[in-house]
C-alpha cells in the first residue's frame, strides 16, 4: 500500500487526532482533533514518510508529521501535490548538498527523484542508498 507524502513547497492543511489524555467518561470527547496549515519543508528525520509544515504560529512554528501514522487523519492540498511512497518496499532519503532526494526500491528496481536519474536512469544517490 503506497502512502501519500506531501511534496516540499506545497501548501497543506494537516488534521491529526490523538486520544484526549484528560478525557473521562461522559464529560469530554475521547479524542482531540487539530488542524495546522502551512508550507511543507524537509523533515529533520531521514525517513521518507516524514514531512514538516512551517505554520508560522508563534507557539509552534514547525510541525513534524509521519504520513504513515494513524494519527494523521487528513491531508488537504491547498497548492502543490504529493509523492506516493511504497511501504512494502524500501525507501531512503539521501541528502546531497542543500537537497534531499527520495530513493525507492520497488520489486528490486531503484528509482530516485533527482534530475540525473530522470535522464540517465542512474545516479549517485542510488549508489549511496544501495550501500546502506
Stretch that binds Zn ion, among 3-11, 53-61, 68-76, 118-126 (CB under 5 A): 118-126
Which residue, 75 or 114, is less far from Zn ion as judged by CB? 114
Closest CA to 104 of 90, 125, 94: 90
Cα 7 to Cα 83: distance, rounded to the nearest angstrom: 6
Query: Which of 64, 125, 127, 132 touches Zn ion (CB under 5 A)?
Result: 125
Residue 93 lies near Zn ion (rule: CB under 5 A): no
Nine cell digits for residue 123: 545516479
Tell me, by CB under 5 A, how many residues bind Zn ion. Answer: 6
Q: Torsion-angle region of residue 9: left (phi > 0), alpha (psi -120 to 50) or beta? A: left
Positions touching Zn ion (CB under 5 A) are 101, 112, 114, 117, 123, 125
Amino acid at each position: 500500500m503506497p502512502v501519500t507524502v506531501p511534496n516540499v513547497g506545497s501548501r497543506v492543511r494537516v488534521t491529526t487526532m490523538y486520544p484526549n489524555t484528560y478525557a473521562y467518561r461522559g464529560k469530554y470527547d475521547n479524542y482531540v482533533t487539530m488542524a495546522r496549515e502551512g508550507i511543507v519543508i524537509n523533515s529533520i528525520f531521514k525517513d521518507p514518510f516524514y514531512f514538516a509544515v512551517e505554520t508560522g504560529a508563534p507557539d509552534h512554528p514547525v510541525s513534524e508529521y509521519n504520513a504513515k501514522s494513524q494519527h494523521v487523519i487528513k491531508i488537504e492540498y491547498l497548492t502543490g501535490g504529493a509523492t506516493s511512497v511504497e511501504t512494502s518496499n524500501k525507501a531512503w532519503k539521501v541528502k546531497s548538498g542543500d537537497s534531499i532526494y527520495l530513493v525507492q526500491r520497488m520489486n528490486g528496481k531503484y528509482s530516485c527523484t533527482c534530475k540525473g536519474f530522470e535522464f540517465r536512469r542512474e545516479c549517485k544517490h542510488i549508489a549511496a542508498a544501495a550501500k546502506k
